[in-house]
């Protein structure tokens, strides 16, 4: 299951998308739609995808992160991933998408 909560980040123009639960085939489209919704006004925006509440990530979730990254970059913004730990951090490391800033959280 995926829950996306969207909150303004501390800096101007920034947004945080918090993932809770599994980011997989059943939920990947929700993440992409959530990020695209943040971009709907056409302004460049910096997006952080907080994975500290994610407990599973498969290839569909990786694809969703890459699609979200592409959508944000096309509008001149940036996307980074934070809070990855355990199996989620392992998948990010194995798939070599460290360019998203996916440094694993301690623990």
pLDDT tens track for 16-29 = 898 989 999 988 99
Structural domain that includes position 7: 2-100
Q: Over the stretch 44-73, which tens digit does the pLDDT of each residue have?
A: 889 999 999 999 999 999 999 999 999 999
Has residue 53 been placed in a domain? yes
**The domain spanning residue 63 has which CATH number?**
3.30.750.24
Number of domains in the chain: 1
Has residue 106 been placed in a domain? no
Has residue 107 been placed in a domain? no
Place of tokens 């303004």: 8
Has residue 49 been placed in a domain? yes
Has residue 76 been placed in a domain? yes
Has residue 105 been placed in a domain? no
Has residue 58 been placed in a domain? yes
Whether residue 107 has pLDDT greater than 50: no
pLDDT averaged over every residue in the chain: 84
Q: Give me the pLDDT at residue 47, please.
A: 92
CA-CA-CA-CA torsion for 26, 44, 94, 107, nearest 10 degrees?
-90
Q: Give me the pLDDT at residue 101, please.
A: 65
100-106 LR contacts (CB < 8 Å, sep 24+): 100/65, 100/69, 102/51, 105/52
């Amino acid at each position: 299951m995926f829950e996306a909560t969207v909150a303004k980040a501390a800096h101007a123009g920034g947004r945080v998308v918090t993932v809770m639960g599994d980011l997989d085939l059943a939920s990947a489209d929700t993440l992409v739609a959530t990020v695209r919704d943040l971009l709907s006004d056409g302004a460049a925006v910096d997006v952080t995808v907080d994975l500290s509440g994610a407990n599973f990530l498969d290839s569909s979730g990786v694809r969703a992160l890459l699609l979200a990254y592409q959508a944000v970059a096309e509008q001149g913004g940036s996307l980074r991933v934070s809070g990855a730990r355990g199996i989620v951090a392992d998948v990010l490391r194995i798939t070599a998408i460290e360019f998203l800033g996916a440094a694993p959280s301690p623990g």
